[in-house]
Amino acid sequence: MHFSKLLLTSLATLAVAQPVHHLHQKRDPAQVMVTQRYTKVVTAGAGAETPAAQQQQQQNNNNNDAAQNKQAQQQSTTMATSVAPASSSSAAASSSAPSSASSGSSDSGSSSGSSDPSGSGITYSPYSSNGGCKSANEVKSDVSKLSEYSVIRIYGVDCDQVKNVYNALGDNQKVMLGIFEVGNLENDLKTMKDGVNGNWDKVHSVSIGNELVNGGQAKPSEVKDMVSKGKSTLKGFGYNGPVVATDTFIATINNPELCDVGDYIAINAHAYFDGNVEASGAGKWVKEQINRVKDTCGGDKKIYVTESGWPSKGDTNGKAVPSPENLKTAVKSIKNEVGDQVCLFSAFNDMWKSPGYLNVEQYWGILSD
């Protein structure tokens, strides 16, 4: 068969058979837009190192010079859709929720940590509607509204967010810290250490990167190296708790090497992007994806969903309809099914983002009106 015809046939087969999944973006750069197009030859039915087909629009500001960008730290926006195998209607193995929240504290300046990541969580970003940094008092006010959640996940180290969120935590709360831009890993980890003032007692875990494989930004082997380097650096800073790399459930299924990368398996899973799930079935769907990952990875390593939610506004995606009522319905369903295995996405609407894929990126806020 002619090469071009084979390529088109393979991609068409995948597109028909598989629904779209999406990578949440972080922060919109102020100035530079870079569009990258990727062409990948895919053989239908064969395994793939990364999700089989992607339509990706990326913005990356890591190398902008100061003349173009005078902000102290620019964040990148990555918008990606990756073709994902259709969710299974059932899973062979049932997931078992971890029995207790991650605990373990030690003398100030060190942490013994645990690889049991369980805890009802929620994600939080400390940015105002125009993309600026919220003040320490604003962050404190926001975090005070999240008292029902035992884990608060943040994504980066800019805007003094590590310090501000850490200082705002309640007595029974921990923070899942993150490095979003992995190009300056060691310095950002030092910023993280300074943010907690060397006291890791309230740190749930640390994530190196977010959806790097799903977004086509790194291979699983590269992610493994980043996590290994990050863990070594953090150990030197007195942190001995869990270190992971978060990626989508489908990237993990398609790349089983990711199962071995972190101290637990961290996956993002949004039923809305499946297109075949109504809001009332979101929790069951998330549980099915946990079971699929469990089947893929085997072993007894814990699985924690680091993002799952539903938009309140945007375009309908098959059976998935964004609305405030459906957001509430989906969140209730997720809590009922996998409440202590998930970080809900997200605390508040993110108006600093662009509308993004299906015009939903700004509207995942659980506490927003």
- Residues 157, 322: Cα–Cα separation, whole Å: 31
Tens-digit pLDDT profile for residues 154-173: 999 999 999 999 999 999 99
- In this structure, of 15-19, 264-268, 309-313, the range with the lowest mean pLDDT score is 15-19
Q: For 365, phi and psi rounded to 5 degrees?
A: -70, 120
Tens-digit pLDDT profile for residues 328-367: 999 999 999 999 999 999 999 999 999 999 999 999 999 9
According to the model, what pLDDT value does residue 138 have?
Answer: 99
Pick the CATH number of 121-359 from 1.10.4080.10, 3.30.420.40, 3.30.1950.10, 3.20.20.80: 3.20.20.80
According to the model, what pLDDT value does residue 29 have?
Answer: 38
Helix axis angle, 282-297 to 324-338, nearest 10°: 40
Tens-digit pLDDT profile for residues 95-122: 333 333 333 333 334 443 447 899 999 9
Q: Which residues pair with 83 in a beta bridge?
A: 20
Q: Which residue has the higher pLDDT, 76 or 240?
A: 240
Question: Is the pLDDT reported for residue 198 higher than 50?
Answer: yes
CB 158 within 8 A of CB 133: yes
Among 181, 211, 288, 307, the active-site one is 307
- In this structure, of 2-6, 96-100, 180-184, 196-200, the range with the lowest mean pLDDT score is 96-100
| pLDDT confidence band for 369 (50 / 70 / 90) | confident
361 is catalytic: no
According to the model, what pLDDT value does residue 115 have?
Answer: 76
Domain residue ranges of the chain, discontinuous segments joined by +: 3-83, 121-359
Question: Is the pLDDT reported for residue 42 higher than 80?
Answer: no
Q: Which residues pair with 247 in a beta bridge?
A: 267
- pLDDT, the chain, mean: 79
According to the model, what pLDDT value does residue 24 have?
Answer: 54
| Tokens matching residue 23 | 């990578």
Residue among 110, 138, 114 at smallest CA distance from 125: 138
